[in-house]
A and B are shown apart, each in its own frame.
Chain A
Amino acid sequence: MSVRLAGAAILVVAAFYTYFGRGYSAAFGDVLGPSVFPVLVGTVAMILAGSLVIFPSGTVAWPSAGRMGRQLGALVVLFGYAWVLVPLGFPLATFGLIAGLAIVLGGPVWKSILLGAVMSLGLWALFDQVLGLPLAFLGDALTGG
């Protein structure tokens, strides 16, 4: 069922892709123009995705609800990191990332917090101080910038 659903999803995406691809007009002197390649690619993708809907192959074992919950938790931590990195600065945001992911991955809470604290400062020192990659210690929200 999962393969069929994925095939259907790719079919819909490829159909939209082909539909919009058709609309790009050819420039003067360019025999093929910007639309033919996307239409070719999209059409073949539709055929293959359609064949997966009709004749699916393989079975997919999705994780249990508990593990999916952990995966969602990891995604929240990852997206959260992307959003707080600039406002909070590297060490504080990275502390959250490492400690949060370690807990989601099943690490003991105190050890995970300790790992986050040590590694976030360690990575900042390594990349910013030793290797010269500029990583803000305090972010915009903390410096008022």
Chain B
Amino acid sequence: MDVFAQLATGFTVALTPLNLTLLLLGCFSGTLIGAMPGLGPVNGVAILIPLTFSFGFDATSSLILLSAVYFGCMYGGRISSILLNIPGDEPAVMTTLDGYPMAQQGRAADALGISGVASFVGATFAVIGLSLFAPLLARAAIHFGPADYFALYILAFATIGGVAGVDPRKTLLSALIGLMIATIGLDPISGVPRFTGGDFHLYDGIEAMVALVGLFAISEVLMLLEAHLKDRKNAIPVTSWLPDFRAIAATKWAMARGSVIGFVAGVLPGAGASLGSVMSYSMEKQASDKDGTFGKGDPRGVAAPEAGNNAASGGALIPMLSLGVPGSGTTAVMLAMLISLNVQPGPLLFERQPELVWGLVASLYMANLTLLVLNLPLIGIFTRLMAVPTWALMPVVAAVSFVGVFSISNSVFHLEMMIAFGVLGYILRKLDVSLVPLVLGLLLGGDMERNLRRAMSISNGDWGVLLESPISITLYIMTAGFLALSIWLTRRDHKRTQARVLEG
């Protein structure tokens, strides 16, 4: 009952004219960004954060806008996957497997309809889960002490990006680079300047938003310069805008299974939407692919990953809001914005700023409905906008990124730093090093150090305090489990690649 009362309060917050306008704007622009090949939710949110900040919206309104953009991007990602065979981002990759063949067979409207409804089902399932489980997790997390938080941060670093079969050493190294950057500036406890080289620009530390925009938006421009210089192929034309509703209904169980699997994957710190869509697709294939139709245009192969990745996006908000540990790359970027607005996500957020949490949850219910309504009839507009060539799109994206960063600080130093982070981001991406752990290290480094130092103060310098509580021990066991899984996945992928080379 408590949840319903809180939700009712949330709806009064979400339904103010400003928040409603931001929600609609966010849904529309998010779908647009998601539909553009090469631009995913991380880039979209990263580019818009500095702008949101400079408009001076309060934390609730900013969060509503960016969450609507986030959900919109997840919806929009399917459009370029289905019509161009180019996924907007990593989670949308699985949608190309059956979505593009469906479009080639003249069933583009069905594929778009199925993916739109599946996105709605998955995301709504996740928001219901968020309403029910986030407060419970927050209540449990109130018992966390400084040593437990330290263990939780280590778990987050070990898991984020690490279960996708990438070398776990690179993932950890990325987090450590982030932690190193986080220690630049005045030490929060003793006030000693560290690693500043005497430059006063660095006394406040590295501005997270400047780093984020550089790492994601500027590095994307450099990536595009090597990958997409040639003309983009034309999208498959959509002959009918009305999907076959019987075809949509036939995928209901695929949507249901995908939603549950995606949600669980989203809640795990670090696993995120990519794992959600991959797991949903592969499990649906195992469960339903009796005739070998998956990969050749099976509607269930579109429904399951779309429900999965949207459920994971909502699920990823649970650890971010209740523990302060993001569950995906995009939620890591949103965490940066909250910290910049002096809002500290974590268990106390639910007690201290219920209007923010429940306003966000209520707006997510509304965003889903808006996106469903927006996506089915307006699909033609989004499809036409995909024809904007990369050479015309990316310079405008870069200009908007500059406006955002410059309008916060009016500092050329920040612009230079943003470009330098872009180069760093590009090099790391080329080396197959995920940027998300770096962002996490940069964001959580200060808190991680503060909690370690607090724990050590309580124990008077005894390192054993880190392993004393059952919560810490459980978290360290989970960390070891995730690392073992990452190593196993890396070895398995390596062996498969070798086998393919030998066969080929």
A residues apposed to B, CB below 8 Å = 2-3, 6, 10, 13-14, 17, 20-21, 24-27, 30-34, 37-38, 41-42, 44-45, 48-49, 51-52, 57-58, 60, 62-63, 67-68, 70-71, 74-75, 78-79, 81-83, 85-86, 94, 97-102, 104-107, 111-112, 115-116, 119-120, 123, 127, 131-135
Please give, as numbers and ranges, the residues of chain B lying within 8 Å of A123 by CB-CB distance: 396, 399-400, 403
Docked CA distance A15–B182 (Å): 17
3 nearest A-B residue pairs (beta carbon): A107-B391, A27-B190, A101-B395
Please give, as numbers and ranges, the residues of chain B lying within 8 Å of A21 by CB-CB distance: 183, 194-195
Closest chain A residue to B169 by CB distance? A48
Q: B415 to nearest A CB, angstroms?
A: 4
Q: Is the CB of B412 within 8 A of A102?
A: no
**Between-chain CB contacts (< 8 Å), 15 pairs:** A10-B173, A21-B195, A31-B453, A33-B190, A57-B167, A57-B169, A58-B170, A60-B432, A71-B225, A74-B222, A78-B398, A83-B412, A98-B395, A119-B396, A123-B396
Q: Is the CB of B180 within 8 A of A75?
A: no
Q: Is the CB of A82 within 8 A of B419?
A: yes
Closest chain B residue to A63 by CB distance? B226
Chain B, 148-184, CB within 8 A of any chain A CB: 167, 169-170, 172-173, 176-177, 179-180, 183
Please give, as numbers and ranges, the residues of chain B lying within 8 Å of A82 by CB-CB distance: 402, 412, 415-416, 419
Please give, as numbers and ranges, the residues of chain B lying within 8 Å of A78 by CB-CB distance: 218, 221, 398, 419, 422
Known: A37-B452, A70-B229. 7 other contacts (CB 8 A): A2-B431, A31-B460, A45-B177, A57-B169, A57-B170, A71-B225, A112-B391
Docked CA distance A131–B54 (Å): 10
Q: Is the CB of B403 within 8 A of A34?
A: no
Number of B positions contacting A (CB below 8 A): 61
Q: Is the CB of A85 within 8 A of B406?
A: yes
Please give, as numbers and ranges, the residues of chain B lying within 8 Å of A74 by CB-CB distance: 221-222, 225
Q: Is the CB of A94 within 8 A of B399?
A: yes
Docked CA distance A131–B453 (Å): 44
Please give, as numbers and ranges, the residues of chain B lying within 8 Å of A44 by CB-CB distance: 172, 176
Please give, as numbers and ranges, the residues of chain A lying within 8 Å of B392 by CB-CB distance: 102, 107, 111, 115
**A-B pair number, CB within 8 angstroms:** 181
Pick from B226, B394, B431: contact of A71, CB below 8 A. Answer: B226
B interface secondary structure, majority = helix
Closest chain B residue to A5 by CB distance? B431
Q: Is the CB of A135 within 8 A of B407?
A: yes
B residues apposed to A, CB below 8 Å = 51, 54-55, 167, 169-170, 172-173, 176-177, 179-180, 183, 187, 189-192, 194-195, 218, 221-222, 224-226, 229, 389-392, 394-396, 398-400, 402-403, 406-407, 412, 415-416, 419, 422-423, 426-427, 430-432, 448-449, 452-453, 456-457, 460-461, 490
Please give, as numbers and ranges, the residues of chain A lying within 8 Å of B452 by CB-CB distance: 32, 37
Q: B248 to nearest A CB, angstroms?
A: 38
Q: A80 to nearest B CB, angstroms?
A: 10
Q: Is the CB of B419 within 8 A of A79?
A: yes
Docked CA distance A100–B180 (Å): 35
Q: Is the CB of B192 within 8 A of A34?
A: yes
The winner among A2, A45, A49 for most chain B CB atoms within 10 A is A45
Docked CA distance A33–B484 (Å): 33
Q: Is the CB of B55 within 8 A of A131?
A: yes
Please give, as numbers and ranges, the residues of chain A lying within 8 Å of B431 by CB-CB distance: 2-3, 6, 58, 60
Docked CA distance A100–B225 (Å): 13
Given A20-B195, A33-B190, A81-B402, decide whether A60 and B430 contact each other with a Cβ distance below 8 A: yes
Q: Is the CB of A17 within 8 A of B195?
A: yes
Q: Is the CB of A67 within 8 A of B190?
A: no
Please give, as numbers and ranges, the residues of chain B lying within 8 Å of A105 by CB-CB distance: 224-225, 229, 390-391, 394-395
Pick from B172, B218, B221, B225: contact of A67, CB below 8 A. Answer: B225
Q: A49 to nearest B CB, angstroms?
A: 6
Q: B267 to nearest A CB, angstroms?
A: 28
The winner among A17, A51, A100 for most chain B CB atoms within 10 A is A17
Q: Is the CB of B221 within 8 A of A49?
A: no
Please give, as numbers and ranges, the residues of chain A lying within 8 Å of B183 by CB-CB distance: 21, 37-38, 41
Q: Is the CB of B412 within 8 A of A86?
A: yes
Pick from B51, B390, B403, B427: contact of A6, CB below 8 A. Answer: B427
Please give, as numbers and ranges, the residues of chain B lying within 8 Å of A14 by CB-CB distance: 176, 180
Please give, as numbers and ranges, the residues of chain B lying within 8 Å of A3 by CB-CB distance: 431
Closest chain A residue to B414 by CB distance? A82
Q: A95 to nearest B CB, angstroms?
A: 10
